[in-house]
Amino acid sequence: MSTQGAVPLAFLQQQKARPIDPEELEMMGKRAAALYRDSGLDLSNAVVEIVKEARLAPEQVKRVCEFANTTAYLDEFEKAGSVRNVTFEGGPADPGRILRDLNDGSSPAIQHVESSDYATPVGSYKTAGKSMSKIAAAFGVPEGSMEKTAEAVNHHSLHANPVEDVYDLKLALEATRQDLLSKLATSGVIYGDVSNDLCSAVVEEVRSGTSLGDVARACASFTDDVPLHKQAMVVIGEYLRDTKVMSPGALGDSLRKVASAGVIPDPKHPVIERFVAFTKVADGHRRLQMGVNVVDEELSKVNQKLKELL
pLDDT in tens, 97-129: 888 888 764 444 444 333 333 233 323 222 223
pLDDT in tens, 229-288: 999 999 999 999 999 999 989 989 998 888 755 566 788 899 999 999 999 999 989 988
Confidence (pLDDT) at 85? 57
The predicted pLDDT at position 22 comes to 78
Verify that 107 and 145 share a domain, yes or no. no
Domain co-membership, 111 together with 140: no
Tell me the residue range of the domain where 297 lies: 130-310
Secondary structure (H, E, C), the chain: CCCHHHCCHHHHHHHCCCCCCHHHHHHHHHHHHHHHHHHCCCHHHHHHHHHCCCCCCHHHHHHHHHHHHHHHHHHHHHHCCCCCCCCCCCCCCCHHHHHHHHCCCCCCCCCCCCCHHHHCCCCCCCCCCCCCCHHHHHCCCCCCCCHHHHHHHHCCCCCCCHHHHHHHHHHHHHHHHHHHHHHHHHHHHHHHHHHHHHHHHHHHHHHCCCCHHHHHHHHHCCCCCHHHHHHHHHHHHHHHHHCCCCCHHHHHHHHHCCCCCCCCCCCCCHHHHHHHHHHHHHHHHHHHHHHHHHHHHHHHHHHHHHHHHC
The pLDDT score that the predictor gives to residue 262 is 58
Q: Which of 111, 107, 120 is nearest to 59 (CA)?
A: 111
What total of structural domains would you count in the chain?
A: 2
Q: Is residue 125 part of a domain?
A: no
Q: Is 67 found in the same domain as 31?
A: yes
Please check whether residues 137 and 272 belong to one and the same domain. Answer: yes
* Structural domain ending residue among the three candidates 120, 144, 168: 120
The packing angle between helices 270-309 and 147-154, to 10°, is 0
Same-domain pairing of 298 and 157: yes
* Residues 111, 163 share a domain: no
For residue range 45-90, list pLDDT tens digits in order.
999 999 988 888 888 888 898 888 888 877 776 665 544 556 667 7
Q: Tell me the pTM.
A: 0.53
Res 142: pLDDT: 45
* pLDDT of res. 31: 92
| Residue 273 belongs to some domain of the structure | yes
Residue 11 has pLDDT above 70, yes or no: no
From 91, 120, 149, give the residue that closes a domain.
120
For residues 64 and 142, membership in a common domain is answered with no
What pLDDT shows up at residue 162? 63
Domain match, 109 and 238 both: no
Q: CB–CB of 301/200 below 8 Å? A: no
Rounded Cα distance between 279 and 223, Å, is 8
